[in-house]
Each structure stands twice: as structure tokens, then as C-alpha cells.
Amino acid sequence: DAIGRWRTEEAMKSGQGANPPVNASGKLPDGRAYDGPDAFKQLLVQDLDHFAEAFVEQLATFALRRAMTTDDAAALKAIARDCKAEGYRLKPVIERLVLSDLFQKR
């Protein structure tokens, strides 16, 4: 749900009829399909570099409270590279972002 609780049924706002099961299937932009959280995780694990870049960009967008631009791309890629070198652990990513010029000169 909206706050991350596990659920197996959609809550119908109308209150009429049975609550349908959650549809946990989907498709990535490159066309690869998944059916459930475990399959989704496996697809993400297959492309950790791309996932790390997207994660760093979203984290920076949240931390800086603005959309990232092409001017930010080099700094974001450097943080993502460091993320890989640190074994994709979260703490070093946050440290690199906070110590970056992006964050320090915002």
C-alpha cells in the first residue's frame, strides 16, 4: 500500500463487491516482464549498474528538492560508480551524495 505494508488484495473505495487480488506483474521499459516481487528483484539484480544510476538520481532529486539536469549527470555517474566500488551499499551512497558539490553548493 501507500506506506509499504504488505497486502494481497486491493482495497476498493466503493465498498461494493469483493476486493480483487493485487496484480504484482509488470514490464520494465526494455520489455522484460515480471510476475511478482521476487521476479522483479531478479530483473533488477541482472542490471545493478543501471539500477544504481537510477537510484542515485532519484535520491539526489529527493535530497536536493529539484529535478536533476544534464549539468548534474557527471556528478551522478561518479556517485553511481562509487556505489559499485562499495558493493552497492546504501550508507556510502548517501555519504558521497552529501559530500558532493551537488549537495554542498545547492
Residues 35 and 60 both lie in one domain = no
Residues 37 and 55 both lie in one domain = no
pTM: 0.75
The pLDDT confidence band at residue 15, using thresholds 50, 70 and 90, is low
- Measured distance CA(72)–CA(45) in Å, rounded: 25
Q: Which helix (H) or strand (E) holds 27?
A: strand 25-27
With vertex at residue 31, the alpha carbon angle to CA 11 and CA 52, rounded to the nearest 5 degrees, is 85
Residues 100 and 52 both lie in one domain = yes
Q: Which helix (H) or strand (E) holds 77?
A: helix 73-85
Residues 24 and 72 both lie in one domain = no
Residues 17 and 58 both lie in one domain = no
Residues 66 and 99 both lie in one domain = yes
pLDDT for residue 86 is more than 80: yes
Q: Check residue 22 and give its pLDDT.
A: 87
Residues 64 and 77 both lie in one domain = yes
pLDDT for residue 12 is more than 90: no
Residues 52 and 41 both lie in one domain = no
Q: Check residue 76 and give its pLDDT.
A: 97
Domain coverage including residue 80: 48-104
Residues 35 and 74 both lie in one domain = no
- Tally of domains within the chain: 2
Over residues 52-84, the pLDDT tens digits come to 999 999 999 999 999 999 999 999 999 999 999
Residues 28 and 66 both lie in one domain = no
